[in-house]
A = this chain, B = another copy of it.
Amino acid sequence: MIDYRRLRVALLGAGAVGSQVAHLLHTHADELADRAGAALELAGIAVRDVDAPRDVELPRELLTTDAETLIVGSDIVIELMGGIEPARAHIQLALNSGADVVTANKALLATHGTEIFDAADQVGASVYYEAAVAGAIPIIRPLRDSLAGDRVNRIMGIVNGTTNYILDRMDGEGAEMAEVLADAQRLGYAEADPTADVEGYDAAQKAAILASLAFHTTVPLDAVHREGITGITKGMMDAARHAGYVIKLLAVCERLSGRADVADGAEAISVRVYPALVPRDHPLASVHGVNNAVFVQAEAAGDLMFYGAGAGGMQTASAVLGDLVSAARRHIAGGAGVGESTRANLPTVDIGKVVTRYQVTLEVDDRPGVLARVAGILSDGRVSIATVEQSIAEPTGPDEAGSARLVIGTHTAVEQDLSETVMRLAEDDVVERVVSVLRVEGD
């Protein structure tokens, strides 16, 4: 056994991830020391209530409610409390005390990332956050380091396990969302209040972090266009399957360049979260259950995909410990911290300027001339039709006249043109109902 230098590690939070981190720090102590080149001594675990019941038993003498004292005496601080305060204040205190920081706090990074990275730069410390996006899947290091010499053009990520579980089961079993969501809650895959997941807030935070890294740009959370999955019905899933697609909640980060709608050929980016149609033969289509995957298109590297478990206490703990070893190596090696590069600082364009393909499903009167009328409205709105499929819809009530369903696949169109055109369609006499409007990504 080598007599390594000791580093004092403070753990803030002892929830599902924190208690696994404490457990693995203890059981794998020798291996971690060999890899870090330092003995990682768990100096204490800051919790709100030392008597709270926990899944994993933790040594009582390590628990403390005095986070500040613990932080000030530590070399590395692992923040796993979540939320904005007091996590933000604790991380600031850690950096000011000369500690390196490991965090899994996506909400904090998506809202206060710039402030935290600047503070780290000023004191020459580093902030590691592999666990903040896509759990155990290494995606932060690949974007920050491996692709640092390349230009990322596009990211499409399935970064929320709860919504992927729901959509995957709806797709696989033809189930309705309500019953799958209830199952997910029973199995612990969804919270009692599922808003953060199903409305896309969680995915939007991760999208902001991924886009910031990929485009070397500060992407504020409110620059991320966000739509959730609550509008997705069994009927929409069935129609998607029939057309060779699957519906996935995607975080799309896109570099826009050389496009007419971006002024003077300057570059811009679009960051958006929404349910989209993904072709069945796209690698993202086969990401099942609560798994996550991030598909990256880079100028030189081409297409890359990173796949794995997106959540779970153990899995996220793996990412935290990887960061801890990196932080320890850096702490021992000395030298300046590695800051985030945001020198590109590309502007974010509004969702209205995004160009993509769409699938528009309409219920229309079943009589001659209707298709010509619909096609005319689309054409007037600068939306070009790629495919049309017409079928007779079942009457929804005894008083209903015969109606037909039109599934229209468009060529690429500008979002604003498309949405104005859909409004005109909705107001037109021949259109009974706009059933769905979905973007198509990845083809």
Enumerate A338-381 residues with CB–CB distance to B below 8 Å: 338-339, 341, 343-344
> Closest approach, in angstroms, between the C-beta of A1 and any C-beta of chain B?
10
Evaluate contact between B320 and A149: CB separation under 8 angstroms. Answer: yes
A396 beta carbon closer than 8 Å to chain B: no
Residues of B within 8 A of A137 (CB): 304
Q: How far is the CA of A336 from the CA of B337 in the complex (A)?
A: 13
A-B contact list, 28 entries, CB within 8 Å: A2-B343, A28-B151, A31-B344, A34-B216, A34-B343, A36-B148, A136-B150, A136-B302, A138-B142, A138-B304, A141-B145, A145-B326, A149-B317, A149-B321, A150-B318, A150-B321, A298-B318, A300-B314, A300-B315, A301-B315, A302-B309, A302-B315, A304-B306, A304-B307, A304-B309, A333-B335, A333-B336, A333-B337
Evaluate contact between A309 and B301: CB separation under 8 angstroms. Answer: yes
Q: How far is the CA of A137 from the CA of B146 in the complex (A)?
A: 9
A35 beta carbon closer than 8 Å to chain B: yes
Evaluate contact between A24 and B300: CB separation under 8 angstroms. Answer: yes
**Besides A300-B318, A301-B314, 19 new A-B residue pairs in contact (Cβ under 8 A), listed by A number:** A2-B343, A28-B149, A35-B216, A35-B343, A138-B304, A141-B142, A141-B146, A146-B322, A147-B322, A149-B322, A149-B324, A283-B307, A301-B308, A302-B309, A304-B306, A305-B307, A307-B307, A329-B338, A334-B336
> Closest approach, in angstroms, between the C-beta of A45 and any C-beta of chain B?
17
Closest 7 CB pairs of A and B: A149-B321, A335-B335, A138-B146, A136-B301, A333-B335, A300-B318, A148-B325
Evaluate contact between B321 and A332: CB separation under 8 angstroms. Answer: no
Residues of B within 8 A of A321 (CB): 148-150, 300
Evaluate contact between A325 and B24: CB separation under 8 angstroms. Answer: no
Residues of B within 8 A of A343 (CB): 2, 34-35
Q: A324 — nearest CB in chain B belongs to which residue? A: B149
Residues of B within 8 A of A216 (CB): 31, 34-35
Residues of B within 8 A of A37 (CB): 339, 341
Residues of B within 8 A of A298 (CB): 136, 318
A319 beta carbon closer than 8 Å to chain B: yes
> Closest approach, in angstroms, between the C-beta of A351 and any C-beta of chain B?
27
Residues of B within 8 A of A332 (CB): 336
Evaluate contact between A145 and B301: CB separation under 8 angstroms. Answer: no
> Closest approach, in angstroms, between the C-beta of A80 and any C-beta of chain B?
14
Q: A136 — nearest CB in chain B belongs to which residue? A: B301
- Take A24-B300, A302-B308 as given contacts and tell me if A148 and B322 are in contact as well, using a CB distance cutoff of 8 Å: yes
Using C-beta atoms within 8 Å of the partner chain, give the interface range for chain A. 35 or more
Evaluate contact between B341 and A34: CB separation under 8 angstroms. Answer: yes
Residue among A36, A136, A338 with most chain B CB within 10 A? A136
Evaluate contact between B338 and A335: CB separation under 8 angstroms. Answer: no
Q: How far is the CA of A324 from the CA of B301 in the complex (A)?
A: 15
Q: How far is the CA of A34 from the CA of B346 in the complex (A)?
A: 14
Residues of B within 8 A of A28 (CB): 149, 151
Q: How far is the CA of A371 from the CA of B324 in the complex (A)?
A: 58
A20 beta carbon closer than 8 Å to chain B: yes
Residues of B within 8 A of A339 (CB): 37
For A129-160 the 0/1 string (1 means CB < 8 A from B) is 01000001110011001111111000000000
A406 beta carbon closer than 8 Å to chain B: no
Residues of B within 8 A of A338 (CB): 329, 333
Enumerate A46-65 residues with CB–CB distance to B below 8 Å: none
For A54-94 the 0/1 string (1 means CB < 8 A from B) is 00000000000000000000000000000000000000000
Q: A36 — nearest CB in chain B belongs to which residue? A: B148
